[in-house]
Structure 1
Amino acid sequence: MSLTLYMHPLASFCQKALMALYENDTPFRPHLVDLGDEAARDAFYKLWPIGRFPLLHDAARDCLVPESSIIIEYLAQHYPGPVRLIPADADQAREVRLRDRFFDLYVHEMMQKVITDRLRPAGEHDHFGVAQAREKLRVACNLLEQDMKTRTWAVGESPSMADCAAAPALFYANLVMPLDDAHPHTAAYLRRLMQRPSFARVLAEAQPYLHLVPREPAHG
């Protein structure tokens, strides 16, 4: 098998790449990286010193491909399947890439800022940064809510790379800021994504690890 994906089922950007692989039933070998294991961590950092996954290795082409969006672009170019995640039309392809960036930068990263802050030790929390991230996440969801009033998928009439980016970003964002409260159309979009067989499989594989996601601290 030519393709190996270095990943962890709980990691949201890994879930984005996994959804793309599952959309087209692309054969690959998952390599679970446990960063809590010193030997596994050292081996991964030797392979990719930046130390972030997902990372795709293509043995047939002797190529390492980092970053979820670039992995999906690489798969579309070298391992295309029946589901075209990058449209052939140049204008639609640009819109997909824009939406992909929107979900990664304005939803995904803001969500991660809030959730990872919960892992910090007492006295080391970034309250100002978290407040900023929550506000940016709210603004992004407000923009998305307007779009999803008339759309089924992020761009066009079928799923694309943008939806692969949206699925994990919104799934975890819903834990930070429940979407049903003020963003019902976005919440309905998330439910469509969760019913998509590719992302349903991603979530099933993540299920054994979801208890590790830090929840909102109790108040009162």
Structure 2
Amino acid sequence: MLQLFAHPFSSYCQKVLIALYENDTAFEFRMLGPDAPDAFGQLKSHWPIGKFPMLLDDGRPVSEASIIIEHLALHHPGPARLIPEDPKAALEVRFWDRVFDNYIATPQQKLVSDALRPEGSRDPYGVERAGAMLDTAYVHLDRHMQGREWVAGTSFSLADCAAAPQLFYADWTHPLGDRFPAVTAYRRRLNARPSFARCIEEARPYRPLFPLGAPDRD
């Protein structure tokens, strides 16, 4: 049995959960949190960095969300091919996966982490730069999504697994408003996708943990 060490409110954990749910892959969820010190200790014994999610496959640890999904595609494939067989198509999928992780998730997390800092140690310049990066990424994505259903190719892929949770939280942190209609429509489609809709519901009890205040929507 596969074991996933994760937390339901984490965007990167949701990214992997989407891939697992898309293919109805059987796994054991190892909840990480203050009430489960043993699970975190086991994670650290395999991956001293302590970051999650981490997949344990027959005793072999696999870390980093994109790599976990690649591992699942190789060793536990299902009917939903999240990484195309065609190398050129796969390259586009991997490119957009990196876009969402690097240029949506990273600045979004900067805004969240700054809110967790004590009042005297905030980083206004860093926050300003993060907001500007998100605006730049939104503009580029809005142009790209004109006339598209999914972000890379014609079918749901690894890139959409990355997009769903990152856009979900980014819109909470640095709202899209009515400035980027194609991105807003894409986010709505992602939220309605059964695999991600399940993640949204599983994470709902943890919304009070969001340091900027979870909006009364979604």
Q: Which amino acid in 2 is paired with 1:106? A: Y
Which residue of 2 is the match for residue 142 of structure 1?
139
Match of 2:126 among 114, 126, 129: 129
Gaps of 5+ in 2: 214-218
Scaled by the length of structure 2, the TM-score of the pair is 0.94
Whole-angstrom distance in 1 between the partners of 2:41 and 2:124: 32
Note if 1:151 corresponds to 2:148: yes
Whole-angstrom distance in 2 between the partners of 1:181 and 1:136: 18
Which residue of 1 is the match for residue 216 of structure 2?
none
Whole-angstrom distance in 1 between the partners of 2:106 and 2:132: 12
Gaps of 5+ in 1: none
CA deviation after TM superposition for structure 1 residue 211, in Å: 1.6
- 8 Å CA contact 1:53–1:66 kept in 2: the answer is yes
CA deviation after TM superposition for structure 1 residue 40, in Å: 4.8
Whole-angstrom distance in 1 between the partners of 2:186 and 2:86: 24
- 8 Å CA contact 2:31–2:39 kept in 1: the answer is no
Whole-angstrom distance in 2 between the partners of 1:123 and 1:215: 17
* Cα pair distance change 1:171/1:160, threshold 3 Å: same
The residue correspondences of 1:37-116 to structure 2 (distance < 5 A) are: 40-59=39-58, 62-116=59-113
Q: Does the residue aligned with 1:181 lie in a helix, a strand or coil? A: coil
Whole-angstrom distance in 1 between the partners of 2:181 and 2:83: 27
Whole-angstrom distance in 1 between the partners of 2:151 and 2:35: 35
Cα RMSD after superposing both structures: 1.4
- 8 Å CA contact 2:5–2:52 kept in 1: the answer is yes
Q: Percent identity?
A: 49
Which residue of 2 is the match for residue 199 of structure 1?
196
Which residue of 2 is the match for residue 213 of structure 1?
210
* Cα pair distance change 1:108/1:36, threshold 3 Å: farther
Q: Which amino acid in 1 is paired with 2:109? A: Q
CA deviation after TM superposition for structure 1 residue 41, in Å: 3.9
Q: Does the residue aligned with 1:64 lie in a helix, a strand or coil? A: strand
The total of aligned residue pairs comes to 213
The residue correspondences of 1:161-180 to structure 2 (distance < 5 A) are: 161-180=158-177
Scaled by the length of structure 1, the TM-score of the pair is 0.93
Which residue of 1 is the match for residue 4 of structure 2?
5
